[in-house]
Amino acid sequence: MKLLKAQYDIRGPVPQDVIRPVPFEKPVPGPGQVLIEVLAAPINPSDIMTLTGDYGMLPPLPAVGGNEGVGRVIELGPEVRHPAIGQVVLLPVGSGTWTTHLLAEARSLLPLPDTIDPRQLAMITINPPTASLLLTEFVDLHAGDWVIQNAANSSVGGYLIQLAKIRGFRTINVVRREAAAEAVRKLGGDVVLVDGPDLRKQVRAAVTKGEIRLGIDAVGGEACDRLASCLATGATLVNYGRMSGESCQVSSQSLIFNDVRLIGFWLARWFQRASQPEQMALFSDLTRLMAAGALHAPVQATYGIEQIQEAVAAAAAGERDGKILLVPQGGAG
**All domains in the chain, ordered by first residue:** 4-123+297-326 (3.90.180.10), 127-268 (3.40.50.720)
User: How do residues 298-319 score in pLDDT, each as one tens digit?
Assistant: 999 999 999 999 999 999 987 6
Burial string for 223-240 (b: 16+ CB within 10 Å, else e) reads bbbbbbbbbbeebbbbbb
User: What's the mean pLDDT in 240-269?
Assistant: 93
Exposed (0-12), middle (13-18) or buried (19+): which is 209, by Cβ within 10 Å? exposed
User: Band of the pLDDT at 331, cuts 50, 70, 90?
Assistant: low
Residue 207 DSSP SS3: helix
User: What's the mean pLDDT in 154-164?
Assistant: 96
State the amino acid at position 27 in one-letter form.
P
Of 55, 159, 240, 303, the catalytic one is 55
Most confident of the following: 235-239, 242-246, 279-283 = 235-239
Task: Report the C-alpha gap between 124 and 90 in whole angstroms.
Answer: 9
Query: Is 55 designated active site?
Result: yes
Q: Are 150 and 126 in contact (CB under 8 A)?
A: no
pTM of the model as a whole? 0.89
Residue 75 DSSP SS3: strand
Q: Are 121 and 115 in contact (CB under 8 A)?
A: no
